Amino acid sequence: MKTFQYILTASIALSFASCNLDEVPVDTGTKQAIFGSASGLELYANSFYDILPGTDVGVFQGDDVSDLVARNGVDNYLSPNALSPITSSGWSWNALRNINYFIENAENSVIPDRNNYIGTARFFRALFYFDKVRRFGDVPWIDRTIEITDSLTLHGPRTDRFEVMDKVLADLNFAIENISLTSDPSSTRITKNVARAYKSRIALFEASYRKYHTDHNMQGTANTWYEEVVTATNAINGFSLHQAASEERSYRELFITKTPFADETILAVALDASLQVFSSANRRFISPTYGNRPSLTRNFINMYLKLDGTPFTNEPNYRTTPFVEEVIDRDLRLKQTIRLGDYRRTENSVPVIAPPNFNQTVTGYQPIKWSYDERFPYDDESRNDNAHIIMRYAEVLLNKAEALAELGRMTAGDWTETIGALRERAGITGPTLTTLPTVADPYMVNYFNGKFTNPVFLEIMRERAVELVFEGLRPDDLRRLHIGELFAEAPMNGMYVPALGEYDLNQDGVMDVLFYQGTRPTPSNPSIAFVDVSPSTAAGRIQLSNGASGEIIWNPGPREWSDKKYLYPIPEADRDRNPALGQNPGW
């Protein structure tokens, strides 16, 4: 549906040349042509879809800056002294003016179904403001177009973030009440269910922000927002977890299909080769020179349960288990998320064996989620046309589970319908599908530095990480739960290497990687990947934790965290224009 932005009729478009609040909308078509017909309202409302996440650097790259992913380089968010009021960005209001102008005029329209389109506009206004609040905290609440003479608004202070979020909730509720479509078979249009799903995501963020960011003293209001999560998720209908003919495909094929699977996908952007609308998923995950070269960390891989439902980390020697052994009999999502020994690709449709490639991965845990198995042209060009999923039913189940756990109302039946259902699709068996955990997994307790000890909550956090990795939600999870230190403290570790030398990662008799120090040795396989683990403190180098053996340790460069980074600084240029904006704490 987002492809409408490429064909929107020019005669009803609005032009915005500035990102300042004192810029007034200018009509390029008559108001009657736009607001006097249902088709005019619909075409205008379609322009709001541009607010949805872009497809080139898609949601699949959002987790690159998190505790789960080792990547090339360090983002400005974490690099020491890189983020400042001078370098900060995101204080743009174009989309809001467009929305408010539409709402003002649509409210005066005589079209009977006008509230349907106003509901769509208010849905997108909620998304706009949620993005601004989670980035900057307090922001000016503006629900009308601003005249250039309105200096009181243009140079006024910011609105308290909690007041803004109450208005975001009101916009979402209006959208749910008034949008006509309940669901959409193409999974590309804004419907009641889309608004409900987004409400569950936004309300969960707000609830946990109020609970865990105790400096605001809003803990007493958190449960009201958790209740909103439950209300929204209970009202969503018509969806289920996608099941393929083979359970070893059910999860992954969601992310490599051109046409979204409507059983689970609530909202997606359908890419279109004829309109030259693509993503760069393959290049960003696979190319050694394009993008961030993201690889998953071993601390995260350890979270994947065994197929019998028990933690892998219960094994006494889990810390020293090599790759070919640690991936056996694990949660089936593991082999649908990273390359295992039996992974196969194609080159010009010719099958090729494709174990983890250390010319492309820095930890050995090389992602395949979102990436086509065919190399050409996808690895070398931004030509991915698989659907860009933005919201799916699995997240809704996880949002509901977390809210119920926080409210202390999780029952065995709730567990079975949420966490148990996700695990059952992943091939997991045993009591974990139907029985609430009563003992906290020590590994999960330690992972979160002892901050969380509730066994139900910890298992939901495990499931949320495993199910939603590379869907762009992890950074917000760290921020809302007030565990931002993991951005900088989580080790960028990889597979265990018992000793220097060659390794066959898929047990096909051909050596795939050679770890060495000093002079590069002669390999048994001319196409082997060489990894120099000579002692070094330089950024961009791989080391082994024990020197000549141990876990791979990737050094992306120095990372730094301070609590002021829970909010971005207000850009200095915008404060110069309006000193009343003030600045966020610590900046």
pLDDT, tens digit, 9 for 90 and up, residues 265-299 = 999 999 998 889 999 999 999 998 898 999 999 99
Contacts of 446 (CB under 8 A, 6+ apart): none
pLDDT band at residue 20 under the 50/70/90 scheme? low
User: 10 Å Cβ neighbour count for 381?
Assistant: 14
Task: Please state at what angle helix 455-468 crosses helix 393-407, rounded to 10 degrees.
Answer: 160
Of 48, 6, 57, residue with least CA distance to 274: 6
What is the Cα gyration radius of the chain? 25
Are β-strands 513-516 and 529-532 bridged in parallel, bridged antiparallel, or unpaired?
A: parallel
In the block, residue with structure tokens 């649509």: 106
Q: How far is CA 377 from CA 289, 336, 348, 373, in A?
A: 15, 22, 9, 11
> For the chain, what is the mean pLDDT?
94
User: Pick the residue with more confidence: 469 or 287?
Assistant: 469
DSSP three-state, residue 32 = helix
pLDDT, tens digit, 9 for 90 and up, residues 167-215 = 999 999 999 999 999 999 999 999 999 999 999 999 999 999 999 999 9
pLDDT band at residue 116 under the 50/70/90 scheme? very high
Dihedral sign (CA 26, 30, 32, 34)? negative
Complete domains list, the chain, with CATH: 4-54+92-218+225-235 (1.25.40.390), 391-482 (no CATH)
User: 10 Å Cβ neighbour count for 365?
Assistant: 27
| Confidence (pLDDT) at 288 | 87
Mean pLDDT on 89-97 = 95
User: Pick the residue with more confidence: 470 or 274?
Assistant: 470
* Pair of tokens at residue 203: 């309300």
Phi and psi (nearest 5°) for 446?
-65, -35
Let me know how long the chain is.
Answer: 587
pLDDT, tens digit, 9 for 90 and up, residues 491-516 = 999 999 999 999 999 999 999 999 99
| Confidence (pLDDT) at 14 | 35
DSSP three-state, residue 336 = coil
**Amino acid code (one letter) for 571:** P
**Bridge partners (DSSP) listed for residue 123:** none
Contact 553, 497 (CB under 8 A): no
In SS3 terms, 91-153 reads as CCCHHHHHHHHHHHHHCCCCCCCHHHHHHHHHHHHHHHHHHHHHHHCCECCCCCCCCCCCHHH
> Is residue 22 over pLDDT 70?
no
| Confidence (pLDDT) at 153 | 87
Measure the CA angle with vertex 329, ends 497 and 456; round to 5°: 100
> Is residue 5 over pLDDT 90?
no
Entry pTM: 0.95
pLDDT, tens digit, 9 for 90 and up, residues 139-153 = 999 999 988 888 888
Measure the CA angle with vertex 257, ends 253 and 262; round to 5°: 85
> Is residue 418 over pLDDT 80?
yes
In the block, residue with structure tokens 């995260």: 300
Contacts of 526 (CB under 8 A, 6+ apart): none
